[in-house]
Amino acid sequence: MLSSTFSRWASINNHGPKATTTTTALLQKISHSYALGRQLFSTAPILDNNSYDKLGIIGLGLMGHGIAQTAAMAAATSKNNNNNIHSSIIAYETDPTFLTRGRDRIQKSVDKLLTKGKLTSSQATSVMDKITFTNDRDALNDVDLIVEAIIENIDLKKDLYSDLGDRCKPSTIFASNTSSLSITQMALASHRPSQFVGIHFFNPVQLMKLVEVVKTEHTSDAVFDTTMEWVEQIGKVGVKCRDTPGFIVNRLLVPNLVQAMLLVERG
């Protein structure tokens, strides 16, 4: 429409065919860029049944193994069989050693809960059966939600999300467990910023109830609301916050710690 309108304007004002051709090409590029921008920053991504049935966890370290266990326990101990939270959980690590270590951590924790009588034998078995442990990243391609909990390195995270954005199904939602890095930077690297949130758990994940759910200026309202519901489904208390350094807890905690140290120095 823009191209044809300018063509008519150039003809009427005697700017000649060359000006018309050049500007038409330019407007076509602008139109293409606009369409691409709408795709990248759309606020209405597809959500499969408004739920996160199949969950992916990337990184099984201190935080990641706890997130995987918490989600699996919520699914295995759900009292409402018609509202089973997750049909499956894919736990991914690049290094087989770290994968085994993460699985052992979860097994040890589940065994302890079983010994204390907080899980039945069938529930304990169900927790472990819910989780598929893998070094194959392709296993994440069709999950509904991916929660990333790798080391706090923004470049590594951006590279990871760029790859995930290319390989995962269009409706997959991405979430970073970072405690302080920019959610917006990672969201833009994923090429689907409207489908990106921050989900910051606290350590130990199995015990700490609070979860900061972080929304950027690009995050879809539907994605954010569904994520808040998911946090509640797995037994946590979600608090809403914007993408700001330190989010809520660390933004309040760090200045207080600094003041405490200054007081100690003053004697």
Query: Which residues are marked as active site?
Result: 179, 200, 212, 250
Residue identified by tokens 């758990």 is 201
Contact predicate 249/212, CB 8 Å: yes
Contact predicate 148/175, CB 8 Å: yes
Answer whether the bond into residue 170 is a cis peptide, omega within 30°.
no
Residue identified by tokens 């266990």 is 69
Contact predicate 29/35, CB 8 Å: no
Say what the alpha-carbon torsion angle 205, 211, 216, 222 is, to the nearest 10 degrees: 110
DSSP assigned state of 53: -
Q: Which of 227, 183, 179 is nearest to 203 (CA)?
A: 179
CA end-to-end span of the chain, whole Å?
73
Contact predicate 49/40, CB 8 Å: no
Residue identified by tokens 């038409």 is 24
